[in-house]
């Protein structure tokens, strides 16, 4: 049985990892992440850049998620998994205050970004979104040229430096530069689905955020494009913190360092069942419900 | 039976060909075509009729019809003052109704909270769009003509009061069509804009208005065409029926008596002399030409915006 690596640290858990009874066949794949000394530290030992404490979110009177307390470690990929409708996307959108755009909503609890309360009264949500970027489920490039798509964010803040250089480096980091460097003036919509999503990632990176939120970024893409995005995430991890919501458990197992498993309670509110290093969640979870979910018995 | 047997028996061919003629479908297509041709026929008859009546005098007197002022003598009467009036009204209506209307639509769609007051305003704007234009004429008379009289600008019946009246008339139309165009911008574009850290004003300015521009321009084309063709409000708000002459100064241009092409059509149509029949048709042709020109400019602008993407 070939050694597989689900988490960054393969040495400590290799005996549990290779137990075939524990693994879905498709999880047995080579790691997509580059080796690095920093990445050897397991996610649960890394200081969090984002902390949620007892967070609940209300649409009007309806509580969509309740008492969420999670840690998001720096320069790691954290996956939010769980069955449909358990509030993963809602939770993700509270982190960059996208839900502010929906009227009649309310947040309880604290969300901290580098120990600053994101919902403090002095905080400007526009600034939050520049530091915590977002990539959406369906690729949504602006109906503008590829160059203007990436330059959009920096132009908003009155970026005065080398815009061409910033656009190029963002596209390089999104592994799209080679594909588009000769057609920067063409419409962003002329690209394929996978390329459009990478353009959206480049657009998010251009504002030089610290955290990138990804809401099921591969669900609208074919498997090859999905793999490209996952490889990209592994590279991005070195400079950014990534939180990804995914329906695809195999993807979470392949690509993430830390996993938060959510479920929906009887009152229709989502809550955190368990959160830990990905390798633990998928091979040795504490909670029976987690075990049932990752082995496909429900969800 | 097997495939080869079926094919040989012609069963496959028969099943693919279909056994029943789609009678209802053909009848429906014929009805649609007939409706289209009927509409085009009406248009052709109207325009053709006017062409037939009006071309002789246009051919006979040529550009003289376009450059002569109004006169009670048919062999000297021309539509020059009407062309000038209609052109100035087009400018006034564009400058007033379009910015105010578009900005109001932006506010209603992007900024206004989704409460009862906003819905109330929305309903009332739609009602205003349905108010008969003659009522707007009375409004113009009561408000704008009196206003200018108060300000000491002659008797108040000038092109500014006429233009203001028409601007108010088409304002609801501009608001409604612009609001529809803004609403049609996909939410994904808005989300993407906010997600990159744009403020609401930046999203509106750089994403929503450019996306909605073709629809907004179509709305302004409709509004302008409506304004240029209105007669009743202008009559009430003080356009001159019959001939007049002005001193030619700017003060006279903006503060003095005025007329417009639809007014001239209305006036000449009522005159008893036989020669004015042909002149009326000529004036109608000029009005049609001006309307088509205004539409063409707006359509060109709209295409330019659409091609940018």
Give the model confidence (pLDDT) of B155-185 as tens digits.
Answer: 888 899 999 999 999 999 999 999 999 999 9
**Domain boundary, last residue among B16, B39, B58:** B58
User: Average pLDDT of A211-217?
Assistant: 93
Inform me whether the C-beta atom of residue A273 falls under 8 Å from chain B C-beta atoms. Answer: no
CB A52 within 8 A of CB A113: no
Tokens of B124: 């009332």
Name the band, by pLDDT with cuts 50, 70 and 90, for residue B307: low
pLDDT of A16 over the 50 cut: no
Contact A64, A90 (CB under 8 A): yes
CATH code, domain carrying B118: 1.10.3720.10
Q: Residue A110: what pLDDT? A: 92
**B-chain residues near A138 (CB < 8 A):** 188
State which residues form the domain around B53: 3-58
Would you state the pLDDT for residue B308?
56
pLDDT of residue B186: 93
Tens of pLDDT, residues B177-232 = 999 999 999 999 999 999 999 999 999 999 999 999 888 988 888 899 889 999 99
**Residue B2, both tokens:** 């097997």
Whether the pLDDT of residue B305 is over 80: the answer is: no
Average pLDDT rounded to a whole number, residues A24-52: 60
Distance CA A154, CA A205 (A): 10
C-alpha closest to that of B143 among B226, B236, B254: B236
Last residue within a domain, chosen from B58, B74, B100 = B58
Pair (B14, B119) in one structural domain:
no
Can you tell me the mean pLDDT for A258-281? Answer: 92
Domains of chain A: 14-294 (3.40.50.300)
- By three-state DSSP, how is residue A31 classified? coil
Query: Quick one: B229 and B286 in the same domain?
Result: yes
Report DSSP letters for chain B, one per residue.
Answer: --HHHHHHTTHHHHHHH-SS--HHHHHHHHHHHHHHHHHHHHHHHHHHHHHHHHHHHHHHHTTHHHH----SSTTT--SHHHHHHHHHHHHHHHHHHHHHHHHHHHIIIIIS-SSHHHHHHHHHHHHHHHS-HHHHHHHHIIIIIHHHHHTT-TTS-SHHHHHHHHHHHHHHHHHHHHHHHHHTS-HHHHHHHHHTT--HHHHIIIIIHHHHHHHHHHHHHHHHHHHHH--HHHHHTTPPPS------SHHHHHHS----HHHHHHHHHT---THHHHHHHHHHHHHHHHHHHHHHHHHHHHHHHHHH-
Q: What pLDDT shows up at residue A2? A: 43
| Lowest mean per-residue pLDDT among A101-110, B63-72, B141-150 | B63-72
Angle of helix B159-183 versus helix B80-106 axis, rounded to 10:
40
Which chain B residue has the Cα nearest residue A148? B206
In this predicted structure, what is the pLDDT of residue A39? Answer: 57
Residue B106 scores a pLDDT above 90? yes
- Read off the pLDDT of each residue in A216-240 and give the average, rounded to a whole number: 89
Q: Considering only CB atoms, which chain B residues are within 8 Å of A151?
A: none
Residue of higher predicted confidence among A147 and B73: A147
* One domain, residues B152 and B300: yes
Overall average pLDDT of the A90-104 stretch: 91
Does residue B147 sit in the same domain as residue B111? yes
Q: ipTM strictly over 0.85? A: no
pLDDT tops 80 at residue A45? no
Q: Among B188, B197, B207, whose Cβ lies nearest the Cβ of A207?
A: B197
For range B288-297, the mean pLDDT:
86
| Facing residue for B199 by CB, picked from A96, A126, A200 | A126
Query: What confidence score (pLDDT) does residue B248 get?
Result: 74
Whether B111 and B182 map to the same domain: the answer is yes
Q: Are residues B143 and B43 in the same domain?
A: no
Q: Are residues B66 and B47 in the same domain?
A: no
Q: Indicate if B152 and B22 belong to the same structural domain.
A: no
Over residues A117-142, the pLDDT tens digits come to: 999 999 999 999 999 999 999 999 99
CB B260 within 8 A of CB B86: yes
The band of A1, judged by pLDDT with boundaries at 50, 70 and 90, is very low
Question: What is the pTM assigned to this prediction?
Answer: 0.79
Tokens standing for A214? 């990804």
Q: Are residues B15 and B30 in the same domain?
A: yes
CB-based contact A136 B194, cutoff 8 Å: no
State mean pLDDT over A285-297. 88
- Residues B89 and B110 grouped into a single domain: yes
Q: Where are the alpha helices (DSSP H) in A74-162?
A: 88-95, 125-131, 146-156
Residue A278 pLDDT level (bands cut at 50, 70, 90)? very high
Same-domain pairing of B48 and B82: no
Q: Find chain A residues with C-beta within 8 A of B307's C-beta.
A: none
Check whether residue B8 and residue B68 sit in a common domain. no
Position A169 scores a pLDDT of 92
Q: How many domains does chain B have?
A: 2
* Predicted pLDDT of residue A151: 94
Q: Which of B58, B83, B99 is the last residue of a domain?
A: B58
User: Which residues are CB-contacts of B169 (< 8 A; sequence separation ≥ 6)?
Assistant: B133, B136, B226, B227, B230, B233
Instruction: Identify the CA nearest to A79 among candidates A224, A284, A262, A291.
Output: A262
Cβ of A204 within 8 Å of Cβ of B195? The answer is yes
For residue B76, name the pLDDT band (cuts at 50, 70, 90).
Answer: confident
Q: What is the mean pLDDT of chain A?
A: 84
């Amino acid at each position: 049985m070939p050694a597989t690596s689900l988490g960054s640290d393969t040495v400590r858990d290799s005996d549990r990892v290779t137990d075939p009874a524990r693994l879905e066949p498709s999880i047995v794949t080579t790691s997509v992440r580059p080796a690095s000394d920093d990445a050897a530290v397991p996610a649960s030992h890394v200081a969090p850049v984002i902390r949620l404490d007892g967070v609940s979110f209300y649409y009007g009177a309806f509580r969509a998620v309740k008492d969420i307390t999670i840690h998001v470690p720096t320069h790691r990929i954290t996956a939010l998994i769980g069955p449909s409708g358990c509030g993963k996307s809602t939770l993700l959108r509270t982190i960059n205050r996208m839900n502010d755009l929906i009227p009649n909503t309310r947040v309880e609890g604290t969300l901290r970004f580098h120990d600053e309360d994101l919902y403090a009264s002095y905080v400007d949500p526009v600034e939050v979104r520049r530091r915590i970027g977002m990539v959406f489920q369906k690729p949504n490039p602006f109906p503008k040229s590829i160059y203007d798509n990436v330059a959009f964010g920096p132009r908003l803040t009155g970026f005065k430096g080398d815009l061409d250089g910033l656009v190029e480096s963002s596209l390089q980091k999104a592994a799209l530069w080679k594909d588009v460097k000769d057609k920067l003036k063409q419409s962003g919509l002329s690209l394929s689905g996978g390329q459009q999503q990478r353009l959206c990632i480049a657009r998010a990176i251009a504002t030089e955020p610290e955290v990138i939120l990804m809401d099921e970024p591969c669900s609208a893409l074919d498997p090859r494009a999905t793999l490209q995005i996952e490889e990209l995430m592994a590279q991005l991890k070195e400079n950014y913190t990534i939180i990804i919501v995914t329906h695809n458990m195999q993807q979470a197992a392949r690509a993430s360092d830390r996993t938060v498993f959510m479920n929906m309670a009887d009152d229709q509110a989502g809550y955190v069942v368990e959160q830990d290093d990905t390798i633990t969640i998928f091979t040795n979870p504490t909670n029976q419900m987690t075990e049932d979910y990752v082995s496909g018995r429900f969800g | 039976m097997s495939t080869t047997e079926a094919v040989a028996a012609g069963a496959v061919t028969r099943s693919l060909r279909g056994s029943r003629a789609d009678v209802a479908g053909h009848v429906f297509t014929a009805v649609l075509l007939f409706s289209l041709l009927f509409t085009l026929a009406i248009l052709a008859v109207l325009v053709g009729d006017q062409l037939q009546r009006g071309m002789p005098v246009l051919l006979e007197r040529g550009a003289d019809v376009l450059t002569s002022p109004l006169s009670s003598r048919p062999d000297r009467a021309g539509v020059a003052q009407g062309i000038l009036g209609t052109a100035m009204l087009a400018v006034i209506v564009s400058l007033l109704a379009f910015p105010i209307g578009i900005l109001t639509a932006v506010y209603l769609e992007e900024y206004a909270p989704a409460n009862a007051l906003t819905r109330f305003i929305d309903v009332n704007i739609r009602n205003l769009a349905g108010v008969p234009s003659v009522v707007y004429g009375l409004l113009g008379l009561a408000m704008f003509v009196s206003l200018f009289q108060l300000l000491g600008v002659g008797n108040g019946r000038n092109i500014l009061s006429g233009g203001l009246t028409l601007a108010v008339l088409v304002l609801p139309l501009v608001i409604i069509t612009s609001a529809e165009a803004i609403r049609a911008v996909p939410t994904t574009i808005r989300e993407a804009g906010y997600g990159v850290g744009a403020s609401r004003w930046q999203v509106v300015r750089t994403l929503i208005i450019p996306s909605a521009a073709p629809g907004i321009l179509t709305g302004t084309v409709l509004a302008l065409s409506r304004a240029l063709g209105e007669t009743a409000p202008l009559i009430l708000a003080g356009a001159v029926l019959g001939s007049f002459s002005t001193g030619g100064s700017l003060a006279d241009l903006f503060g003095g008596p005025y007329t417009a092409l639809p007014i001239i059509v209305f006036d000449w149509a009522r005159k008893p002399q036989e020669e004015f029949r042909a002149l009326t048709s000529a004036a109608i042709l000029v009005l049609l030409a001006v309307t088509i020109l205004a539409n063409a400019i707006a359509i060109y602008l709209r295409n330019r915006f659409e091609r940018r993407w």
